[in-house]
Amino acid sequence: MGLTPEIFLFALFSVVSIVSAILVVALPDPVKSAMSLIVSFFCLACLFLLQSAELIAVLEVLVYAGAIMVLFVFVIMLVEKRDEPVVRGTLAARVALPVKLGAVLVVAYGLFSAIRKAPLAGSAELPEGFGSVVSVGHEFFDNFLFHFEITSILLLAGIVGAVVVTKKRKAS
Amino acid sequence: MITPTIPVEHYLYLSVILFSIGAAGVLIRRNAIVVFMCIELMLNAANLALVTFARHHGDSAGHIYVFLVMAVAAAEVAVGLAIIIAVFRARNSVNVDELQDLHG
């Protein structure tokens, strides 16, 4: 199998998304973390497109890279004032990092071996118009109507909750 | 559209890698906002797995789940960032190590 455009795009976007995800964790400045998170979301949207999930790819850019990250950057602007303190040189702090990374690696190894054992051979044929607005919309309103309505209540609760939590309380 | 030919496993491995990076960030970083961003990264890794399985089975129900995850993430970010702002007002800090007691 030669280097088809699809393999090239998959390799490009997966490498860029992994690198920018590592930068989110590694960069000390939260604004730079937010910017590399946007790059990661954009690469994920392209990977969704490669799997013919057009609507989800558009929503990823609109909702995540657009709305959610703007909210993040605003809050960083409101809150940020100094860098994180350097990790103290106590024994506990020095032990904590390898322990945390080890725990994450154990989980990752478990997931990797589960994927290797999973019966994943032979993907199904994709139906006509798979992932388009029309097909996802039909799926939504035919089979998931209740979930759609509940989502609107959830978002309303989110709006009200955000306003209530940030409201300044009267001095008692 | 390009017909997908890349094996499903590759996307799932990528999803695991992104999830692990996000989990490591949640554990390692002490800035509450960055911890939140790492949670978003983990949610997106799960989204990638859902889209991959939707393609694998040729069933667009997976896309519905991704949509629902996005809605939950949006509500969660709105409330979570509001809490971070409220905590910052009360304590003048967003370091999760300094937030150890329950009373305001």
Q: ipTM of the predicted structure? A: 0.90
Q: Give ∠ CA A136-A141-A147 in degrees, rounded to 5.
A: 100
Tell whether A58 lies on the interface with B, counting CB pairs under 8 A: no
**Four-CA torsion B7, A112, B22, A13, nearest 10 degrees:** -20
Q: Give ∠ CA A155-A57-A38 in degrees, rounded to 5.
A: 80
Q: Which two tokens stand for residue B62?
A: 């997976």
- Residues of chain B where predicted confidence (pLDDT) is lower than 50: 1
Domains in chain B (CATH in brackets) are: 8-93 (1.10.287.3510)
pLDDT digits (tens, 9 = 90+) for A21-77: 999 999 988 999 999 999 999 999 999 999 888 999 999 999 998 899 999 999 999
What pLDDT is stored for residue A31 in this prediction?
92
Residues 127-166 of A with CB under 8 A from B: 127, 130-131, 135-136, 139-140, 143-144, 147, 151, 154-155, 157-159, 161-163, 165-166
Model confidence at A121, pLDDT cuts 50, 70, 90, reads confident
Residues with Cβ within 8 Å of B49's Cβ and at least 6 positions away in sequence, in order, are: B11, B12, B15
Best probe of the B interface among A14, A22, A155, by most B CBs < 10 A, is A14
pLDDT digits (tens, 9 = 90+) for B38-65: 999 999 999 999 999 999 988 889 999 9
Compute the Cα dihedral for A132, B18, A40, A70 and give only its sign: positive
Find out whether B26 and A12 touch, Cβ atoms under 8 Å.
no
User: CA–CA separation, A68 vs A70, rounded Å?
Assistant: 5
Tell whether B74 lies on the interface with A, counting CB pairs under 8 A: yes
Among A50, A107, A124, the residue with its CB nearest the CB of B20 is A107
* DSSP character string of A10-43: HHHHHHHHHHHHHHHHH-SSHHHHHHHHHHHHHH
From residue A171, alpha-carbon distances to A163, A168, B57 in Å are 18, 9, 57
Q: Which CATH class is domain A1-81?
A: mainly alpha
